[in-house]
Amino acid sequence: MRPAVRLLALLGAVAVMPVSAQESNLIAVGDLLANTIAGGGPSNIRGDLLLANDGNIYLASYGGGLTGGGTVASIAPGGSMTVLGALTGIGDIGAQPYGRLTQGIGEYLFGTTYVGGVNGSGTVFRVAPDGTVAMVYTFGSRREDPKLPYAGVAQTADGSLYGTTFRGGDNDAGAVYQITPAGELNVLHSFTGGDGGEYPLGTLIAGSDGALYGTTLGNNTNRGTVYRITTSGEFTTLYNFPVLGQFNANGVALNETGANPRSALLLASDGNFYGTTYQGGANGFGTVFRMTPQGDVSVIHHFSGFPSGGANPQAGLSEGEPGVLYGTTERGGQTNIGSAFRVTTDGTFTLLHSFTSSSVDGQNPYATLLPVNGELYGVSYSDASSGIGGLFKIVLPDANGALPVQFSISERQFDLGGSATLTWSSPTATSCTAAGAWSSEIGTSGAETVTPESPGFYTYVLSCVGEDGVVRNAYAWLIVTATATQAIAAVDGGASGGGAMSPWLLLLAAALLSFRLNFFRQKNTGENR
């Protein structure tokens, strides 16, 4: 079969999306680029946002700062950002935090850096109420010393800090540690590999029984574990995720309940634990799972991948109203560069947002969503313009199911030559502008028919300024495929991109140049990040 025809066969296999209105609007919060340029502000945020006791949101960024080692910053309720301190690397506070900040039992916040400190093996640091950042502990350099803390810490009522390191311990497979209020480190458990797990990434959380719960990555005998450990060091493996088995037709490995959990668990209001896996499940793109306090695991959602679902979640979950969970995926969504989603504990899944790689929302989110007063705050790791990511809010429908900016498209996929109608309405807006694959003078409501001139992936952006001065963004996507005849014409020098956002066309070009196609084989190798 000719490559272009093979490509069309795959394009034709993409599920046609149902016609639906936007599930959310997106608002920029602050300006990461302005802060980074002006004062060494944050960039490339990987850890979850924290709503602290003082009502501000806090973050630790992997990049940015005066030396590029990261920063700690706060965001006031109005959206203004304050850079509290830079993480400067070896011999100091440490650098490159992956994990989230934690609210201490007093007014202190605590976090970890993956590298840096006296030995270059990472640190634990604290943030004082006045914003001062100071080192609490620097990890050792010997092979058996806990080192490279990927996750944040948890604090118990006695003031002790508990966390995990990605490496070190007796088997260099990671460890669970305690730091006493006096600053002494105790190794509570060294991971053994095999069924005992190895290489923990997620922050420990406290269960209702006072014990701590966490996850590990996979190895040769399983694809990750969920474990329980008491503050005295009594360790129990609660669940082993099964090895990845057969590959599906798209070359993605599957299993029953998921593989390679990379994030913390959530103890939800129903008393069960919930988490995500990066790979595996029925479609190979990861899962959302539930674990009872007794350790029984079941899947409430199998991610379906691009274009209608999420794929490969790096982040864990947050809970808004009881029974409603929120999260992000690194890939998947309409553009395959990440998604934000909602899933209820009974398994009802909603794709809230597909990332566009703009400076507003960015791409490839590693952190989960933070519910605050009916809105969801989030961050993304990168973007197409500056590469530093975005800081945003996702606005959900009101009690009547309405959004400030309503935006829909009549079709989601058709062959070249077809048309779709964009319809929008923003009753409280003073003006609206069109961007992306369409640009025209538009009012605050209306309809417009679009007829793309070439195959491709089209993103339509609608930005409306409300009476409050806030810019709210909504998005619509369209896949335009080619028939077999049109594809053969393209082989002989036919249609070109025509200005669309066209990963499909890039794939077509690659197929024509190399005479081979392997489009749907995703990067699901489970590489550590």
pLDDT digits (tens, 9 = 90+) for 318-355: 999 999 999 999 999 999 999 999 999 999 999 999 99
The answer on pLDDT for 299 being more than 70 is yes
Count CB-CB contacts under 10 A for residue 134: 11
pLDDT tens for 244-254 read: 988 888 889 99
- Average per-residue pLDDT for the chain: 87
Q: Extract the tokens encoding 385.
A: 């313009």
Where do the domains of the chain lie, and which CATH numbers do they carry? 3-10+405-514 (2.60.40.10)
| N residues, the chain | 529
Higher pLDDT, 412 or 315: 315
For residue 513, what pLDDT is reported? 29
Q: Extract the tokens encoding 377.
A: 């705050």
Helix (H) or strand (E) holding 9: helix 3-13
Nearest to 165 by CA among 143, 184, 182, 136: 143
Q: How confident is the model at residue 491 (pLDDT cuts 50, 70, 90)?
A: very low
Higher pLDDT, 493 or 433: 433
Q: Extract the tokens encoding 148.
A: 């490279």
Lowest mean pLDDT segment, chosen from 45-59, 66-80, 415-429: 66-80
In the predicted model, what is the mean pLDDT of residues 501-510?
A: 38
For residue 5, what pLDDT is reported? 34
Q: What angle do CA 393, 378, 123 make, to 5 degrees?
A: 145
Q: How confident is the model at residue 524 (pLDDT cuts 50, 70, 90)?
A: very low
Lowest mean pLDDT segment, chosen from 30-34, 49-53, 281-285: 30-34
Asked if residue 44 lies in contact with residue 388, where contact means CB atoms within 8 angstroms, the answer is: yes
In the predicted model, what is the mean pLDDT of residues 362-368?
A: 97
The answer on pLDDT for 101 being more than 70 is yes
Q: Distance (Å, rounded) from C-alpha 339 to C-alpha 307?
A: 10
Q: How confident is the model at residue 399 (pLDDT cuts 50, 70, 90)?
A: confident
The answer on pLDDT for 89 being more than 90 is no
pTM for the full model? Answer: 0.88
Q: Extract the tokens encoding 361.
A: 């929302």
The answer on pLDDT for 136 being more than 70 is yes
Burial letters 237-273, b for 16+ CB under 10 A, else e: bbbbbbebeeeeeeebbbbbbbbbbbbbbbbbeeebb
Lowest mean pLDDT segment, chosen from 255-259, 475-479, 484-488: 484-488
In the predicted model, what is the mean pLDDT of residues 450-464?
A: 93
Q: Extract the tokens encoding 364.
A: 């490839």
Q: Distance (Å, rounded) from C-alpha 236 to C-alpha 469?
A: 53
Nearest to 390 by CA among 400, 380, 399: 380
For residue 15, what pLDDT is reported? 44
For residue 37, what pLDDT is reported? 62
